[in-house]
Amino acid sequence: MRKQKSMRLLGIGAAAGLILAACGGGDIEEADAPAAGQEDCGDFNMAINPWVGYEASAYVVGQIAANELGCTVEYKNLKEEVAWQGFGSGEVDVVIENWGHEDLKKKYIEEQGTAVEVGPNGNVGIIGWYVPPWLAEEHPDITNWENLNKYADEFQTSESGDQGQLLDGDPSFVTNDEPLVKNLDLDFKVVYAGSEAALIQSFRQAEANKDWVIGYFYEPQWFFAEVPLVKVDLPPYEPGCDADPAKIACDYPEYILDKIASKEFMDSGSPAADLVSAFQWTNDDQNVVATYIAVDEMSQEDAAEKWIEDNPDKVEEWLAAS
């Protein structure tokens, strides 16, 4: 899901969660036996970061690993930085969708040597501030950040007090919003909805009821097909404008999302490591599976299986490298 999604971590509790957390309360996908002549895959531990698009990517890879490679797949619900802590302990093999996190790369790849980059996953990430369509239509100048203070009173809530509310999602998401508000001299306060689901529901209600809401959002994202949120233009991003987190006064960069894995796992010879290396798909692919999960209320496994059945050529291409 982004600086990086601000690192408000849980200390000892987070470490405990790393050991204990597993998707679905600890359910583990029981893998089929490997085909004759195929190397035993063994255990395959996939982190699940807290947004539906990530689930879509992880479960597609996981279902292929279980059903085609004979892996025993375990999905672990973990915040982003907590997941990286698991590379050294063997608790986590793969983070399938990484949003930048140059600080974590320095720590776990360069300094500790427990993680490696495994190339792009094919998704392009965009983060920004958005308003519901009705608001952009009735007040078109609101999509220019320089006009936001003119409307600050309209965005006031009980949480923001006498300032306008800028709604963010999960506090662990990559966000520059607090320094942006300060450095652009905006009369707004960042308030955290707490999750992707809460953020989506706020935008959904704002469009239905013509409520004043401005908030953090991102692509790839299935929700744009339901409510086509309109992006607010912040000062354009230029290389280096976000070098000092405290002084950021520019928009977010475009993120080429990539895969991060345990070095031990990638060196293990597991066919799942080859699958992770080969996996790439598009924003549209991810949004299809995310829609199955979020809108059609399919289980993550069933949503992944449906996409796999509908896209045999892509799956075969990934498996050819395994």
- Please tell me the class of the 126-247 domain: alpha beta
pLDDT of residue 39: 60
How far does Cα 56 stand from its chain's mean position?
10
DSSP-derived pairing of the beta strands 255-262 and 115-131? antiparallel
pLDDT of residue 147: 98
pLDDT of residue 40: 80
Q: At 269, phi and psi to the nearest 5?
A: 85, 5
Distance, in Å, from the CA atom of 54 to the CA atom of 300, rounded to the nearest integer, reads 11
Q: At 158, phi and psi to the nearest 5?
A: -65, -30
pLDDT of residue 171: 92
Sequence ranges of the chain with CATH classification 3.40.190.100: 126-247
Give the three-class secondary structure for 268: coil
pTM here is 0.85
- Please tell me the class of the 11-125+256-319 domain: alpha beta
pLDDT of residue 321: 80
Sequence ranges of the chain with CATH classification 3.40.190.10: 11-125+256-319
Low-confidence ranges of the chain (pLDDT < 50): 1-37
Largest CA distance in the chain: 69
